[in-house]
Each structure stands twice: as C-alpha cells, then as structure tokens.
Amino acid sequence: MLLRFVRGALDRSPLAVRAVARERTQASCLHFPRGACLKYTNHASLPSTSAGAGAPLHFCVVGSGPAGFYATERLLKQLGSVASVSLLDRLPHPYGLVRTGVAPDHADTKNVIKQFQRAAQHPNFHFFGNVNVGQDISVAELQSCYHAVILAYGAESHNKLNVAGEDLRGVLSAREFVEWYNGHPDAQDLPVNLNSVQAVAICGLGNVAVDCARILLQKPARLEFTDIAEHALAQLRCSAVRSLHLIGRRGVTQAAFTPKELRELVTLPNVHVHMADDDLLLDEAEQAELKIMRMKRRIYDIIANAAKSPDPPGAERSLHLDFKRSLAAIHGGSDGQVEALDLEVNDLVRDPVKGTVRAQGTGRLQHLQCDMILGSIGYCSVPLPGVPFDSRKGIIPNSLGRVLRGDETSTPTAVPGLYTVGWVKRGPTGIIGSNLVDAQQTVECIKEDIGRLPPLRAHRVGAAALQELLQKRCCRAVSFENWSRIDAVEVSRGLMVGKPREKFTSASAMLACL
C-alpha cells in the first residue's frame, strides 16, 4: 500500500490525489514502527491555524540537504498529521552535502541518510527532485500553494581568491573539487588532470581544505571501496602528486580545522609532514588561550607531534603546512596553465580590545612552483529571485529563521510564511549535526506563527498544486519512489566493483533509470 501512496503522490488526476489522501489518512500508522507513530503530535494541542483548527497545513522546503531534511523531519514529527511537507531539490537526488560534500572515506558521517530515509516514508512527505526553484517555479508561486516556504538551499558558490592569475587553468575552488570527487553533476566536466600535477597548493585551513588534501595525498587503494566517483578514482590512481602545500594566512592557533580531521591527515602512512619550527612559537596570549581552549590545545599538539615525528618509512608524498602566508599572485605559462605562486609572509597582529588576531603582510615574498591550486576559503550562498538577501553576510536576512525584509532606512519585518534554515540562514559553518539544532529553531518559529500563516485561497494547494504546475511546464519531477529506483541502480552498479554505490554523475543518467 505504501508504494501506491508514493506513486499516487505524482499521479496527476484529481481522483488519484483524493484517493491517495484517503488511503493515507486510513493507513498512516500502518507503515510506521509503533514508537515512531506515537511520537507524532496530536494537532489538537497546537494553536489553530489561519485555515481553522485541524485544517491541513502545507509546507514546502527548498533544498534537500541536511538542513532541509532535518526541518522536514521536525515539521512532520511535531505538527502531527495535519502537516504535509513537499521537499524540493534542483538535482534528481536528495541529501545535498551528505551525498556530494562529505568525503567518500567518511562513510560513517553519511549514516544520517538512514534517518532521512525513514522520514521520507512518512505518508505526508512528498519529494520533488529535479525542480529548480527560481527557474522551473518561483518562490512567489510556491507561496501561493503552501502555508509556509522554508528556504534550505545552502551555499552553492565559493569565495574567490581575488588575486591576479586566478583564472589560469589549474586554479580551482575546493568546493568544485569536492563536488568532482563526489560525483556532483555540476562538476563532472571539471578540468582535473592529476597525471600532470606534481605540486598542489591549497589556500585555507578549514576542514574542506583538509578533506581535499587527504583525498589527494592518501594512497588511492584506501578509496577503492568507497562511493568516490569513478572518474575521480581513475585520476587518483594515476596521480603524479608528490607535494602539497596547505596555506593559511594566520597561525596554528587560529586554524579553522578540527582535531580529528587534522590528525587523519598528518598521520597518513605514506606522507611526511614539513613545517617551519618558528610556526610553533606562541606569544603569551596564545599560550594563555591554549590553556583554556581544549580544542586549540589538541590542534597544537597534533601539529607539534607531526612536525617532530620521523618520516614514515617509504613515504612518497609530502605535506607542507605553511602558516602565516597569504596568496599574493598566481603565475602561468604561455599555455595558460598555472605554474607557480607568490606567497606574502604575514605578521600576526592582535587587537588589544577584542583580542582577535589578524594577518598583516610584511612585503616579503616566497615563490612556490605548483601545477594546481585549490582555493578553500569558504563557501557562499547565492540570492534567489524575489527573496531578500544580505550580500555582505552572504545569507538570507532572518531572525531565528524568519525571513526579514527591509533596508538600512527601515526596520526589517518578517515576511509572512517565509523561513530559512541551514547555511543560507547562518552562513557556511558547522557540521551536519549543527543543522538539527538550526532546523529545530526554525520549526519553533513556524509553530509559534501557525495562527498567523497566510491563508491559501487557491483551489488546489500543497503537493497536488505543485505537481500540476510542474506538469504544465513539462518539468520532470522525481518522486522519492523514483529516487529509490535510481538509488537501487547505483547500489547494484557499486556491488559489481566492491563499492557501496557507483554514483551517476549526471542528471540525465539518473533520469534514464526511470
């Protein structure tokens, strides 16, 4: 019966939609473990809505990454059977960064997908993959069919290095590189030729930089049985990379990476680690910081240990930790390919009042040969037509998740029925689990606002209305059942080569399974 529900969700006829709704109401508990069913709140305990007590509430979540999925799960759990959630994604597959951001050798982090799959079995859940909000449908149109729209579309771009030579061949963003090795459809044609790359420079000292460094430095055999994209594994097998410079504008105690990820990198058995002894010298304020900040202390100790450890026997690759260096220029050959870069040596300057530390250039330059540069200085979100956007902060302006409209001359006010969650709400920081807390905060706002959500006047609303609109526009939406079929094909392709899955790396290849 469950299969019929899901299929019915995309059946366009009014009769089918009504039949599905009826079946859902009758049998919603049958497909849930007893405990899971009991957890759903009785809507009688919630404030009555603009549509009246107990009337259905239709929510639309834009973006099916961790923030979008956690928000969906919270809404379905906490608002009870009155709530129905449509989860949209511009790609045919769900899960966003869990699928295309988390490194392939961090399989445990992807276990959260099981939790999302359980949420997707809820009878009031509707997935619409392959729907590009802003192109296939506008936010205003979504608002006309849903009581609330929750924007969870993350950060689809990256900060630019802003140095001369950035456009040379071989200069890429770490964001694109991560997408490339994770089989993201946008990055399938990224020009990566590792068999002609001996020296790599990665700018930035965050976990994304560490992920990229680990993927490039470790033996490809360690990735053979992961879900890494086939094209990336093939390149890594014939990689000529011998040295990798991880470059940060500030010092050891200001680095953004976390101890676990750092340890994994500097203890790779085939890699020797180099750094300047001076970089381990700390001023008084830094020493005091290490005493009270356990994480910074751990990072310092890991780096200090790595620096003094003897080179592992047979280490054929080197990792250079270049602290207090800023990228000053990138140089290329006549063929337009990157060949080298200049680094400016920095001093660290502490603000006497705030205690913050900034990098200040000394004018001294260092020259470094390199064949590939990855800029890893942060992701950034992009505006969506018709939605307020703070381009300085790179987020949708919001208060606890309520989207705010207004400019410098007026007090910002909340846009009724419009919410945000995840990186586009708070900026590109935090681990997957941070989005759970974030989603809960946004859902709390929605619950508080329930009586004030804008009423829906359209004849058809929610998933049925969206389905009809998309059908009129010949937009081929992918339901969760359809995604499950693509998923099964990926898993069976993986089985043949000993991997958990062999991902399709284009939307058309995914759609061809259906």
For ligand NAP, the binding residues (CB under 6 A) are 159, 203-209, 211, 248-250, 254, 256, 261, 376-379, 428-431
209 or 303: CB nearest ligand NAP: 209
Compute the distance between CA of residue 375 and CA of residue 102 in angstroms, rounded to an integer: 18
**One-letter identity of residue 335:** D
Name the token pair of 283.
């001023």
Q: Least separation, in Å, of the C-beta of 204 and ligand NAP?
A: 3
Q: Least separation, in Å, of the C-beta of 400 and ligand NAP?
A: 20
Ligand-binding annotation for 431, yes or no, is yes
Looking at residue 30, the DSSP 8-state letter turns out to be T
Nearest-CB residue for ligand NAP: 206
Name the token pair of 27.
């049998």
Give me the DSSP letters along 341-397.
EEEEEEEEEE-TTT--EEEEEEEEEEEEE-SEEEE-S-EE----TTS--BTTTTB--
Ligand-binding annotation for 180, yes or no, is no
Q: Least separation, in Å, of the C-beta of 488 and ligand NAP?
A: 28
Give me the DSSP letters along 287-336.
HHHHHH-HHHHHHHHHHHHHHHSPPPTT--EEEEEE-SEEEEEEEE-TTS
C-alpha Rg value of the chain to the nearest Å: 25
Ligand-binding annotation for 468, yes or no, is no
Q: Least separation, in Å, of the C-beta of 461 and ligand NAP?
A: 36
Ligand-binding annotation for 249, yes or no, is yes
CB-hemisphere CA count at 13 Å for 256? 21
Ligand-binding annotation for 22, yes or no, is no
Ligand-binding annotation for 358, yes or no, is no
Distance between first and last Cα of the chain: 21
430 or 500: CB nearest ligand NAP: 430
Taking alpha carbons only, the member of 450, 394, 459 closest to residue 426 is 394
Taking alpha carbons only, the member of 336, 343, 372 closest to residue 167 is 336
Q: Least separation, in Å, of the C-beta of 12 and ligand NAP?
A: 40
Ligand-binding annotation for 4, yes or no, is no
Q: Least separation, in Å, of the C-beta of 160 and ligand NAP?
A: 9
Ligand-binding annotation for 485, yes or no, is no
162 or 409: CB nearest ligand NAP: 162
365 or 495: CB nearest ligand NAP: 365
154 or 417: CB nearest ligand NAP: 154
Taking alpha carbons only, the member of 422, 428, 432, 492 closest to residue 113 is 432
228 or 256: CB nearest ligand NAP: 256
Where is the binding site for FAD, in residues? 67, 97, 133, 423, 430-432
Where is the binding site, in residues? 67, 97, 133, 249-250, 261, 423, 430-432
